[in-house]
Chains A and B, each alone.
Chain A
């Protein structure tokens, strides 16, 4: 992975991410009492993480390696692993089980399909 972010650039990324954690978590705790959260804004903030994560996960599963065509077939090991993990989540909230089953399905599909 020669083009990944490394060295000082990575240090800047880490500091930037740490600042994003600090700013969001402390925002209203250190702001003056006059600042209020509007109802519309609160709705948008509430759904922002789930939308961002979906926008990351779905291409990560369906487009692999990065830059390939969209692979919706059931021969896609990542899709199989993610479906297995998702089905487990419908049945149980146990995260370790979800990861274990997902990795097992992904590995089997990767090796034998």
Chain B
């Protein structure tokens, strides 16, 4: 619902907001792309930002592959496209507990379609509802707050914290760069910092064993 409110209050026409919700179906990527769309950033910058925000799904799809290895191509692609953070987590939890039924693909399709319907209904409610709210209520800020709510819980490990801090500082310094490229500099600096921190964490136990 928040993505719907934020899209309309960010300045998207209702029909475009609904189309975006139906076709893109990725809340964080939509919220990340929104300020860039409003600022008139180049198309490739907007799409690349959405792509980086979606990169976590590459890991999810690698984790799901062994479970759906026997299925035909189209079915695997469909199950993949309708997966979200929530349905992936549900599936992996049930897989760990060993409570998945025999037809795990049908079970997963059920969870995903349920989630899709709920998400689309609430997004469209948000889109249409927000179009009746005056712009000077500042509702477009809900998009930023929703991103805060998404990022907050993932700041639970040192690489994530260091990466986010580095990304923020570099994005602020590089802000005047054209085409919103400061955002990319920030993201890349953050990913580097997070990867290095993770590598340092991996190395430390080994060193203490040697000593």
Contacts and interface: CB of A to CB of B under 8 A. Distances in A.
Partners in one complex: yes
A4 B37 contact: yes
Contact of A44 (B26, B40, B189, B191): B191
B186 to A, nearest CB: 3
B145 interface: yes
B172 A70 contact: yes
Interface of A: 1, 3-6, 9-30, 33, 37, 40, 42-63, 66, 70, 78, 81-82, 85-86, 89-90, 93, 95, 98-99, 102-103, 106-107, 110
A7 to B, nearest CB: 9
B111 interface: no
Interface string B189-205: 11101110011000000
B39 A3 contact: yes
Contact of B61 (A26, A106, A110): A26
A82 B48 CA distance: 26
Interface residues on B, range: 35 or more
Nearest to B82: A25
Contacts, number: 280
Contacts of A25: 54, 57, 60-61, 80-81, 83
A24, A61, A81 pick with most chain B CB within 10 angstroms? A24
Interface string B1-28: 0100000000111001001100111101
Given A3-B39, A10-B16, A16-B43, A95 B149 contact: yes
Nearest to B34: A56
The listed residue with most B CB atoms (<10 A of its CB), out of A9, A17, A70, A90, is A17
A46 B59 contact: yes
B43 A53 contact: no
B33 interface: yes
B61 A24 contact: yes
Contact of A99 (B12, B142, B199): B142
A48 to B, nearest CB: 4
